[in-house]
Amino acid sequence: MKAALRTYHARMQRVLDHIDRHLDGDLDLETLSRVAAFSKFHFHRQFAATFGLSVHRYVQLARMRRASRQLAWNDAESVTDIAMDAGYDAPDAFARAFRQRFGQSPSSFRKSPDWAPWFAAFGPLDNARNNLMQINFTPDDVTIRDVPPTPVAIMEHRGDRATLGATIERFKAWCKAASLSPETGRSSFMVFRSERCPANPADYSMDLCVGTDQPIEVNDEGMKAGVIPGGRCAVLRYPGNTNNLEPAALYLYRDWLPDSGEEARDFPIYCQRRLSPIAEMPAHEVVVELFLPLK
């Protein structure tokens, strides 16, 4: 039964990957049901039951998330072109929908993004992917690896996760100015020093890191030099982007670690993203590895 469930969810994963690759294309029910190899008469109900939102709503949110990222990080593209890419016939309609969702006009968001409403707006999109993550892990997905120590530049985020987006934006700007953006082939890391949702939101804590051995000068952004320690780690590889690795971490701590006979080392769990710590790329182009340091 478990194997059948994994196969079912693998078919649904194909649908999400297809949507990521074809946001500019025709993503109607008939097309997506063919991708999943499900009956078109039942697919919309199967999708909603699996992900908690309709196909139309998922596609709409995915296109709007791409549009908001283009606004924040691509000054060369006009608001009109971004609106058209998001499936809107006119910039005015896009602006109304954008303001309703984020509380800012597209031009205002481009100048000074308010990330708290952004995170809240895309919660359903992240939850949809997390619904697959929560049941798809098995011991075969975890490998034990000896990793070398990695010198990094660190930007700390301390405080409510609702403000994390602003920290990420500063981190991205610093990396670009220091020629350490993903295009240079640098590794990027997130070190999770607290729960995703601590009882007191002010206790949320994580580090944004980029691999570099160059000297880090004192600056207004609060960057500092550090090291991701080497040693044995349990590594859970997750192909596809997610803004919530909590289900993967929960699997490692709750299921894999007790059965493995291993003991965790005194360093927080962390992830490495192949392309970017900010998830600018489509989900199918991102590979995330979650590292649990072991003794």
Write a three-state SS string for 58-125.
HHHHHHHHHHHHHHHHCCCCCHHHHHHHCCCCCHHHHHHHHHHHHCCCHHHHHHCCCHHHHHHHCHHH
List, edge to edge, every strand of the sheet that includes 224-228.
Answer: 142-147, 231-239, 287-293, 270-273, 188-192, 205-211, 150-158, 224-228
Query: Is the pTM of the predicted complex or chain greater than 0.95?
Result: no
270 and 153 co-located in one domain: yes
Q: Which pLDDT value is given to residue 217? A: 78
Question: How many residues would you count in the chain?
Answer: 295
pLDDT, one tens digit per residue, over 261-281 is 999 999 999 999 764 444 444
Sign of CA dihedral 239, 242, 248, 249: positive
**Token reading at 224:** 């500092």
In angstroms, rounded to a whole number, what is the distance separating the alpha carbons of residues 181 and 176? 5
| Average pLDDT in the chain | 85
In angstroms, rounded to a whole number, what is the distance separating the alpha carbons of residues 295 and 292? 10
Burial, 39: exposed, middle or buried (Cβ in 10 Å; 0-12, 13-18, 19+)?
exposed
Q: Which pLDDT value is given to residue 136? A: 66
Residue 49 has pLDDT above 80, yes or no: yes
Query: For 101-111, what is the mean pLDDT?
Result: 91
212 and 149 co-located in one domain: yes
What type of residue sits at position 154?
I
Which of the two residues, 280 and 289, has the higher pLDDT score? 289
Which of the two residues, 186 and 30, has the higher pLDDT score? 30
Q: Which pLDDT value is given to residue 195? A: 86
Q: 15-19, 27-31, 74-78, 152-156 — which is least confidently predicted?
A: 74-78
Residue 133 has pLDDT above 90, yes or no: no
158 and 269 co-located in one domain: yes
Does an H or E element contain 136, and which?
A: helix 123-136
Q: Return the CATH number at 6.
A: 1.10.10.60
3-class state of residue 286 by DSSP: coil
Q: Which pLDDT value is given to residue 285? A: 54
126 and 182 co-located in one domain: no
144 and 254 co-located in one domain: yes
Using the structure block, give the residue that is written with the tokens 């944004």. Answer: 208
By the 8 A CB rule, do 182 and 171 touch?
no
Query: For 95-119, what is the mean pLDDT?
Result: 89
Q: What total of structural domains would you count in the chain?
A: 2
Full domain range(s) for residue 284: 137-293
